[in-house]
Structure 1
Amino acid sequence: MKAVNKQLAQWDAELNQLHDRNGDLGLKVKMLEQELKEAWRSREANKNSAPTVADFPEAADLVNQLKARRKKSRADLADMEAVLEILSYLEESD
């Protein structure tokens, strides 16, 4: 009988430890859920405030501006079109 009582007391102590640990885990879960909600709200706010599409000038205008600033530039219309394509691709991936 003494051995059974000792075993029950040991199980009771283990059960109390499990309850304490689970209670702490429940609190951590609630805190993490709150942080996640705040992060999503912040993300949505940033997403809504960021410009969605940049207005790039036409490739021909870019070539003309470049030639006006750098007379000896070897860039041509095809180069500017490629640059604009790269920029628009980079913008879409953000």
Structure 2
Amino acid sequence: MKAANRQLTEWDAELNQLHERNGDLGLKVQMLEQELKEARRDREANKNSVPTVAEFPEPADLLNRLRARRKTTKAVRADIDVILGLLAEKYD
């Protein structure tokens, strides 16, 4: 009988240790889930605050618009291509 009581006491102590450990693990999981939620929220905020890449019109369209405003312009399509390239480098 004493041996059975001793065995039950040992099992009870072991069970208590397992409950404590599982409780600690549960708390750790909750903390990690909260960190994940915050990281996702921060990621969305960062994604929304990042400037979008500028999209430029076609060089030929720009040249036609320029010629419509300045009839005597000496600019050619190659000039417009270079300007757009410089602008694209700035926004990359």
Q: What TM-score, normalized by structure 1, do the two folds share? A: 0.60
Structure 2, unaligned stretches of length 5 or more? 60-76
- Once the two structures are TM-superposed, the CA of residue 51 in structure 1 deviates from its matched residue by 1.9
The aligned residue for residue 20 of structure 2 is 20
How far apart in 2 are the matches of 1:36 and 1:27?
14
- CA RMSD of the aligned region, Å? 2.5
How far apart in 2 are the matches of 1:24 and 1:56?
56
Which of structures 1 and 2 has the larger relative contact order (alpha carbons within 8 angstroms, sep 6+)? 2
1:30 matched to 2:30: yes
Percent of counterpart pairs with the same letter?
Answer: 72
List, as ranges, runs of 4+ consecutive aligned residues in structure 1 with deviation greater than 3 Å: 55-60
The aligned residue for residue 67 of structure 2 is none
Q: What TM-score, normalized by structure 2, do the two folds share? A: 0.61
1:47 matched to 2:47: yes
Which digits, 9 at most, give the CA deviation of each residue in 1:28-66, with x for residues without a partner? Answer: 011001100100000000011112323357594243x5x
How far apart in 2 are the matches of 1:55 and 1:6?
78
Count of residue pairs the alignment pairs up: 68
